[in-house]
Structure 1
């Protein structure tokens, strides 16, 4: 491409904005996504840990009820 001699006029900048030809910082987008992920984990992680603890407790109680598991009895 040829090097531009003059800066863009306000009219051309406005037309470019209408067409969606604007600069977009990928770093800013990535940082906001990372921030959202951290916030979601901060909110949901305690609940997820509690549910997993309940699940493992339930599985453990099932195992204790029938301690004679073998491949033959499972299949």
Structure 2
């Protein structure tokens, strides 16, 4: 985080990385429903980079900041 702003590369990854497993496998992380992220929050996020991404995404959605990610979505 620089100057109180999240690193743009982290946001870019959230907007374009796909969920690798589970009910929403293949769905872009930013498109995961909030109740799914709340479930992870309650049960514990996975370890490693994916867990960090999901936890950050949870905070973004919790605070209504999804608009930060929409312009970064890969158009492919």
With normalisation by structure 1, the TM-score equals 0.24
Higher RCO (Cα < 8 Å, 6 or more apart): 2
